[in-house]
Amino acid sequence: MKLNKNFTLLLLGHSLANMGDVLYIVSVISVIFNLTDSATVSSFVPFTITSSMFVSSMLTPLFVGKVNLKWLMAWSQIGKTILLVILGLKIAGITASNYYLIFFIIGLIALLDGCANPIRQTLIPHYVNNDDLIIANGIAETVTQIIQAVMWFAGSLFLIILSPQQLIWLVGCLFVISSVLLSLLETVSHTSSEQKGKLEQLKEGWKTLLNTPVLKRIALIDTLETIAGTVWIAAILYVFVNDALHVDEKWWGFVNGAFFLGLIIGSIYCIKYPSFVEKNLGTLIFVGSFTGFIVTIFFSLNSNPLMALCLSLFMGLFGQIKYIPQQTVIQTSVTKEQLSTVYTSLSAIGTGIFGAGSLVMGILADLFGVRTVFVLSGVILALVSIIVYKNKQLFIRKVFQK
């Protein structure tokens, strides 16, 4: 695949925004923890972000027909840049009595992020030939996971040499460059939905999900996998490392790192063997689901830290080998004009379920033990495997004629 200008601009712009997102969240958590000395208050940072992204995913369809997709993404990034500058100016004066201002600003930033993420996935088929979708999705996922793996580590190092405010100004520079790159994208054709009422626009993506058999199954699979995936959040994994593996906190970082490494290897596999992946979309989605179930059950029963690293790596590897083919199925299951509302609906499911699921799994871990929630996660993934197996014939790449 030859990387074209638009895909390169989209990838670079989104990557710089991703780097900035991680760094500014690291700085915000640092400020709040230093002000409150409370892990509970600090944990409300990801909760605030997830909740705002859920609201944004629900409302984005109102803008899809009125604002061109390219500009919807570019202006959301420009808006994030403006809000970040405000945060940078305010953060020096934040005290224990008014730190709620930080939550207000990061909530607004997340509202714009919730709009940008599904639009990025929607734009890829506009800028990439249908035959190159597997490679394009693989490259996008590889870059995203490398950034996630590296920047959380780098963010901690930056805080050693920079103050949180200085780190936010660095993020501001990344956001400005990202905004410029996204503004340079070519405008894509889109169908106006201004003639439809607001309620109809909000319902459009959900109706497409319900009326398209493969998307209906994927929505159900996403719901179950999101619930199952909440056991892998940092807080629960930290408890597992301490209570089940009986090792110190550095192994928490190792287990997380192994998972990200698995994601990266899975992405590279899809890039290297796109023809094989495309011919076996349904099979790979099933293999990824079934392996996730087996690995999670073994992880729940395991007490060896080295084995935990291997299992975490396999979880990331096969999860990604499932995820990339699944994205290709989504991107080719409906017309390009319908994709934006489909992705915003799927994003709403993911963010809404994740927020509630994280809370429920945390409570269950406290009540019944951390191993129990991993067993429960494995059982849910077993159900996903059954659903995928029974509907394997639906997971194909379609071609829509213009």
Torsion of Cα atoms, 358 then 385 then 139 then 156, to 10°: 30
Determine the pLDDT at residue 235.
64
Continuous segment of H or E residues that includes residue 124: helix 100-127
Determine the pLDDT at residue 15.
93
d(CA 43, CA 237): 14
285 with 264, same domain? yes
**What is the overall mean pLDDT for the chain?**
86
SS3 58: helix
Digit-coded pLDDT (tens) for 303-326: 999 999 999 999 999 999 999 999
232 with 294, same domain? yes
Count of structural domains, the chain: 2
Which of the pair, 70 or 250, is modelled with greater confidence? 70
181 with 211, same domain? no
320 with 259, same domain? yes
Digit-coded pLDDT (tens) for 18-74: 999 888 887 887 788 788 776 567 667 777 888 888 888 888 877 776 778 888 889
Tell me the percentage of the chain whose pLDDT exceeds 70. Answer: 92
If we measure between CA atoms, which residue out of 355, 70, 52, 346 comes closest to residue 189? 70
Of 161, 187, 213, the position where a domain reaches its end is: 187
The answer to whether 330 and 137 have CB atoms below 8 angstroms apart is: no
If we measure between CA atoms, which residue out of 93, 109, 78, 91 comes closest to residue 182? 78
180 with 200, same domain? no
- Taking the whole predicted model, whether its pTM rises above 0.85 is answered as no
pLDDT for residue 362 is more than 70: yes
Which residue range forms the structural domain that includes residue 202? 194-402
DSSP of 192-233, one letter per residue?
--TTS-HHHHHHHHHHHHHHSHHHHHHHHHHHHHHHHHGGGS
34 with 183, same domain? yes
Amino acid identity of 199?
Answer: L
Residue whose structure tokens are 């906190």: 249
CATH of the domain at 93: 1.20.1250.20
- HSE-up (13 A, CA, CB side) for residue 336: 18
